[in-house]
Amino acid sequence: MAGHSRFGISFLFEFIEEKCSILRDAVYSRFTILLAFHLLIVILRILYVQLSSLEIYSEEAQYWIWSRHLQLSYYSKPPLIAYLNWFSTSLLGNTPLGIRINAILIGFGIAMTCYYLTLELFHNRRTAAIASFLSYVLPFIWLPSSFFTTDSPLLLFWLLSLFLFWRAVNNNFMKNWIYFGICLGLGIISKYSILLILPCLFVFLLRSHSHVFRSRKLYVGVSIGLLFFLPVVIWNIKNDFVGLRHVQYLAGNTKEAVQIEKLAFNFLEYIFGQIVILSPFFIGFYIKILKSWIHKQLSDEMVYLILPGIMVFFVFMPIAFVRRSGVEVNWPMFAYATIPVALAHWAVTGKKTGRLGAGAAATFMLVLLITNLSVLDKVEIQKIIPVKFDPTSRLAGWKSLAQHVDSLKRRIPSTNCFVFSNNYHISSEMQFYLEEQPATYFLNYNNRMNQFSLWPGLEQFVNKKYYGIFISTTPIKDKLKDSFEEMGSFTTRKTLYRGTEINNFNIYVLKDFKGFEENNSHY
């Protein structure tokens, strides 16, 4: 009898092990398919960069130039983007792919972090998969996953920090607090905005996990993150705190008087801009989630996901009222990084995945349309949306302009020549697209400072028989013309996009630089 009992138990264990193995294989199989899908997206994005006619965005070009001058920090941003550009271009060359591979890989990282954060919070693989797919649809993630700016690493490390903080709070292992600190630190040297995560997390702890404040591990994690900020502080001390002054100016700490009509416009622009990057097709979901939050019907997990976005949204709102140019649409978008997780969970638990899928499809089609308006030129879409409002128009014409400048350089009877502009966007694009990518320079016509202002400038060419090629969208000023012995030639160069003029550049060849006193109007 005992033998039969042992046989029965043994059979039961074998049966359970077999079923668990089948289940485990099925889970691994589904994850393999998911991973293969995300890797396919990476490949498609690489092919798009290689085959697309769209050129480098001027901010991308600027950050690439930073990678040629590695420092502890930079005028307007911390240094991580320069380090990443230096590494990627060392491997892939100073090419568009050498720069944008960072954004593409970060996009992959964001999708996978959404997946694992969803699993950590809700323990549902279907919800996790949906959240990771949504990361390819939402405009505020699509942009930094396609173009490499400081928002790219910021978004990833904000998301990773939230993932690791939740894990640390719920198991209190020191290693997770350390990992959180490292991610926070990497976010700090990506963009200063990630410091806003700390008040968001502390408010969440006060709400439902106040006991964590009594744990020294919390302060160890935060301290590790803040240590990453030390090199940035050292750099600012050595450079008269220009980074801090720049941030103060962006926050609206100026003496400029702003008319009430402009304030109203800035406010509406801010609200509308956030709706666009969050996708208007998900407005119904957002409203229902907010209503549930107001009526205290949300779980701690859902509050954790939406609280940072709400807080940061209201942090930036006053700036729209005090800053003449308002708030840039991308400034708060990093705080929305967990939205794919919240949408996926809300749709799955409410059995609204069909509606979510329809919204995702509509959003994806809208993003494709906005970034490829040229496909509608045959139906004269320009009558509805002029080319100047096409966001991709800023990614065209630079290569042809550089080719024209190169042709002018070849006609100069001297190798002593420098290219400069009174617009750092032009200077940045020219340095990337000119032959052999020589250093270019920025001449300040009483405008705000930028990173070029902190590097050796035109003063190094004074009275050394140097030619200068000046590129501007405005006519040359007499003061600048008089800083050269004579003007050699003047040409204009129109750049076209979709058959329409988007820029008209004035290009001056000037001989024998005598010196020019620059002036920075503000930070």
User: Tell me, what's the pLDDT at 118?
Assistant: 97
Max distance between CA atoms of the chain, in angstroms, equals: 112
User: Tell me, what's the pLDDT at 253?
Assistant: 63
User: Torsion angle, CA of 278/279/282/287, rounded to 10 degrees?
Assistant: 50
Name which of 506, 514, 509 is nearest 479 in CA terms: 514
- Say yes or no to pLDDT of 441 above 50: yes
User: Tell me, what's the pLDDT at 390?
Assistant: 86
> What residues pair up with 469 in beta bridges, in sequence order?
419, 509
Mean pLDDT, the chain, whole residue set: 90
17 — pLDDT class (breaks 50, 70, 90): very low
CA distances from 469 to 165, 442, 490, 495, 504 (A): 52, 12, 10, 18, 16
207-242: pLDDT as tens digits: 989 999 999 999 999 999 999 999 999 999 999 999
If residue 277 lies in a helix (H) or strand (E), which one and from where to where? Answer: helix 260-278
Report pTM: 0.91
> What residues pair up with 418 in beta bridges, in sequence order?
468
125 — pLDDT class (breaks 50, 70, 90): very high
Give the separation between CA 16 and CA 11, rounded to whole angstroms: 9
User: Tell me, what's the pLDDT at 16?
Assistant: 43
Sign of CA dihedral 134, 136, 140, 144: positive
Average pLDDT over residues 267-294: 92
156-174: pLDDT as tens digits: 999 999 999 999 999 989 9
- Say yes or no to pLDDT of 436 above 50: yes
Give the separation between CA 497 and CA 503, rounded to whole angstroms: 9
Average pLDDT over residues 372-398: 83
Average pLDDT over residues 379-401: 86
Percentage of the chain exceeding pLDDT 90: 72
41-68: pLDDT as tens digits: 999 999 999 998 889 999 999 999 999 9
Sign of CA dihedral 409, 412, 416, 421: negative
User: Tell me, what's the pLDDT at 237?
Assistant: 95
b (16+ CB within 10 A) / e for 313-326: bebbeebbbebeeb
| Count, residues in the chain | 523
Q: Helix 125-134 and helix 353-370: axis angle, to 10°?
A: 20
- Say yes or no to pLDDT of 23 above 80: no
Average pLDDT over residues 17-31: 58
6 Cβ contact list (under 8 Å, min separation 6): none
233-264: pLDDT as tens digits: 999 999 999 988 888 887 766 666 667 777 78
Name which of 309, 58, 62 is nearest 193 in CA terms: 309
User: Tell me, what's the pLDDT at 258?
Assistant: 63
Give the separation between CA 259 and CA 322, rounded to whole angstroms: 10
